[in-house]
Structure 1
Amino acid sequence: MKPIINELILSGKPWQAEQLLNPMLSQLSSDSERWLTLILADKSDTRTLHWLKSCDLNHDKVQIFSSSNTNQTLELTRKALASGTSHTVISWLGDLDKGWLGKLESAAQNGQCQGLAIRSRQVA
C-alpha cells in the first residue's frame, strides 16, 4: 500500500451518503490487523456519530474520535496517520490547503497509512 491522502467531496452530511460510504467503511473495518480510524470534525454532530455506530462495521477494529475545531481535526489526523497503528484514517475536514496536504501525506508516509479527507460541497 502506497501511503497517500485522497479527498472525497459530498453534497451533504456523511450519513446522507450512506449508500456510498457504508460499503467502503465496512470493507475497511474488516481489512487489516491495524485500525480504521475515523475523525469527526464536529463534536456536536451526534447524527453522524449515531450513523457510524449503526453501520455494518467491525467495531473491534474501528476507532472514532471527534474534535472541536478545524486545527484540532487536522492535528489529530496528522498524529493518527503518523502513529502507524491505523491502515486508514478517514477525517471529515474543511478545505485542505497545500501546506496541510503536504503534512498529512508526510505523516501517512511515516505511518505507512492511507488517508481519506471527506468534506462537504459547501466548503469545497
Structure 2
Amino acid sequence: MRQQSTREYLPATSASASPALPRAAHSQTGTTGMVSELVYRNNDMILTHILLPLLRQFAGEPRWLLWLSPGEKLSRRWLAQNQLPRDKIMQLSRIPAINSVDAMEKALTSGNFGVVLGWLPVLTEQENYRLQQAAQRGSCLGFIMRPQEWHHDNAPVARQLNTVQIHSFSYH
C-alpha cells in the first residue's frame, strides 16, 4: 500500500474553517490564497492525477506559474509531455536554498502568479505563517513541494504529527 501526505498551513481565522482549495482555485474572483505542503515520491500518482491537472487549469489564467527549484532545471520536454505551456511558466533555479523562502514569499505577494511551487528546506512555523500571509495578499496558491525522502528524515517529530496521510491504492 502506498501513502501520500499533505499538510496545509492556514491562519487561525474563521475564514480558515471553510474548504481552502476551492477558494484558492478561483483566485480570479478576488478571494484569498493559501499555501499547502505536498509530500510525494518521484513518478507518483499525486503528481500526475492531482498536481498536473491543477497546473493545467491555472495555465489558462492570465497569471503565470512559478517554479522555485534551487539547483534543478525544469525540462522543456517534460512540460510538453504534460501539456503545460512553456510561455506561461517561469522558473528560478539559480537561487540558493537559504534564499528560496524569501523568493517564494515575494512571488506569492506580488500577485503576478496564480501558482507558486517551491522546493524548500524544512520551514519554521514563522516561515510558514509568512508564506501563508503572502499567498493571501497575492491571492494565489502556493505549494511547498517535499520529496518523500526529505519529509521523514528532516522534519521534526512534532511537525510530522501534523501531517495528514492520504492513502492511495495502485490499480493494475
Q: TM-score range by the shorter chain?
A: 0.7 to 0.9
Contact 2:59 2:65 (8 Å CA) reproduced: yes
Listed one character per residue, the Cα deviations across residues 72-121 of structure 1 (whole Å, up to 9, x for unaligned) are 21111111001111111111122122111011111112212221111112
Contact 2:79 2:85 (8 Å CA) reproduced: no
What are the equivalent positions in structure 2 for 1:27-38 lying under 5 Å apart?
Answer: 27-30=57-60, 32-38=61-67
Q: Give the counterpart letter for 2:58 in structure 1.
A: L
Please name the residue that 1:24 is paired with: 54
SS where residue 118 of structure 1 aligns?
strand
CA distance in 1, matches of 2:70, 2:147: 12
Q: Give the counterpart letter for 1:104 in structure 2.
A: L
Listed one character per residue, the Cα deviations across residues 17-76 of structure 1 (whole Å, up to 9, x for unaligned) are 35244333222212x11111111122xx34xx1154433112222211113432221111
SS where residue 121 of structure 2 aligns?
coil
Question: Taking structure 2 as the reference length, what is the TM-score of the superposition?
Answer: 0.59
Corresponding residue pairs, total: 116
- Higher-Rg member (1/2): 2
Please name the residue that 2:69 is paired with: 40
Contact 2:32 2:137 (8 Å CA) reproduced: no
Aligned CA RMSD, in angstroms, stands at 1.9
Please name the residue that 2:99 is paired with: 72
CA distance in 2, matches of 1:120, 1:57: 21
Please name the residue that 1:96 is paired with: 123
CA 1:25–1:102: 2 relative to 1, 3 Å: same
Instruction: Give the % identical residues.
Output: 27
Contact 1:67 1:73 (8 Å CA) reproduced: no
Give the structure, 1 or 2, with the largest relative contact order (CA under 8 Å, sep 6 or more). Answer: 1
Please name the residue that 1:117 is paired with: 144
Structure 2, unmatched stretches of 5+, are 1-30, 152-172
SS where residue 73 of structure 1 aligns?
helix
Structure 1, unmatched stretches of 5+, are none
- Aligned pair partner of 2:135 in 77, 86, 108: 108
Question: Taking structure 1 as the reference length, what is the TM-score of the superposition?
Answer: 0.79
Residue 4 (structure 1) aligned with residue 34 (structure 2):
yes
SS where residue 78 of structure 1 aligns?
helix
